[in-house]
Chains A and B, each alone.
With several copies, the nearest count.
Chain A
């Protein structure tokens, strides 16, 4: 399964890119699984994903909890809590 992952703010900065396309292994079911899988790459990834409780996510542009199943989504975004306005 092919998935586009978007990163924003300090997640993007630590990883060093804004977007990538990945093929998910079958054991990656939820956003939390995805975070753990990305973190295992080490380097900027593990730095960005070091504190999952500080991360927020959206699946196909809808905000979700990290326990949400990715299912057949096309796009997952991972980012810090929002600070607009």
Chain B
């Protein structure tokens, strides 16, 4: 019921959603983060901490399952180089009722942003830079602990 995947392969949205829907679910909420094509980025590269990343994602998914009444929690994160328009991350939560699915989905992505060891590097033309962490992400994650 918990599925964690960190891979260089493109994210198979339809396949992942089909896995989640395969159970007796009433509600599936999902979130996809994509490489934005509108701010001049030619390539985004995702670095991660092998082992620790998967453990962190597994912990986040288990926290969601403990907190809400879920039938499935999925976190799929791509690593390596990717192009504008491609999917970086997919999280999904399935539940008998929609409020659990919606809240758990928001939790999964908010937590992932601050608690999982990934680092983004953007390339624009000849220039590469590491993306800075944003305070708004810390705030979004912290609202779940209040």
Binding site for B on A (CB under 8 A): 6, 8-10, 12, 58, 61, 63, 77, 79-85
Provided the pairs A61-B51, A84-B77, A84-B89 are in contact, do residues A8 and B117 lie with their beta carbons within 8 angstroms? yes
B contacts with A: majority SS:
mixed
- Please, how many angstroms separate the alpha-carbon atoms of A12 and B45 in the complex? 15
A6–B77 Cα gap in the complex (Å)? 21
Q: How far is the CB of A55 from chain B (nearest CB, A)?
A: 12
Contacts of B120 in A (CB 8 A): 83-84
Q: Which of B52, B112, B134 has the most CB of A within 10 A?
A: B52
Tell me the B100-146 residues at the A interface (CB within 8 Å).
Answer: 109, 112-121, 130-134, 137
Residue count of chain B within 8 Å CB distance of chain A: 30
Tell me the bound Cα distance from A66 to B47 in angstroms: 22
Interface flag for B55 (CB, 8 Å): yes
Query: Is the pair B113, A61 in contact by a Cβ cutoff of 8 Å?
Result: no
Q: Does B28 contact A (CB under 8 A)?
A: no
Q: How far is the CB of B65 from chain A (nearest CB, A)?
A: 19
How near does chain A come to B142, taking the closest CB pair, in angstroms? 14
Contact assessment for B52 and A83 in the assembled complex, using a CB-CB cutoff below 8 Å: no
A82 and B52 in contact, given A8-B47, A9-B119, A63-B115 (Cβ under 8 angstroms): no
Chain B residues within 8 Å of A85, by CB = 33, 77, 88-89, 98, 109, 112-113, 116, 118, 137
Residues of A within 8 A of B109 (CB): 85
Given A58-B52, A61-B52, A82-B117, verify A9-B47 contact (CB < 8 Å).
yes
Whether B130 and A80, one on each chain, are in contact in the complex, defined by CB atoms closer than 8 angstroms, is yes
CB of B48 within 8 Å of the partner chain: yes
Which chain A residues lie closer than 8 Å to B49 at the CB level? 6, 8, 58, 61, 77, 79
Residues of the B chain whose Cβ atoms lie less than 8 Å from the Cβ of A6: 49
Q: How far is the CB of B112 from chain A (nearest CB, A)?
A: 5
CB of B49, distance to nearest CB on chain A (Å): 6
Tell me, yes or no, whether B4 is within 8 Å of chain A by CB. Answer: no
Judge whether B46 is part of the interface by a CB distance below 8 angstroms. Answer: yes
In Å, the complex CA distance between A82 and B60 comes to 15
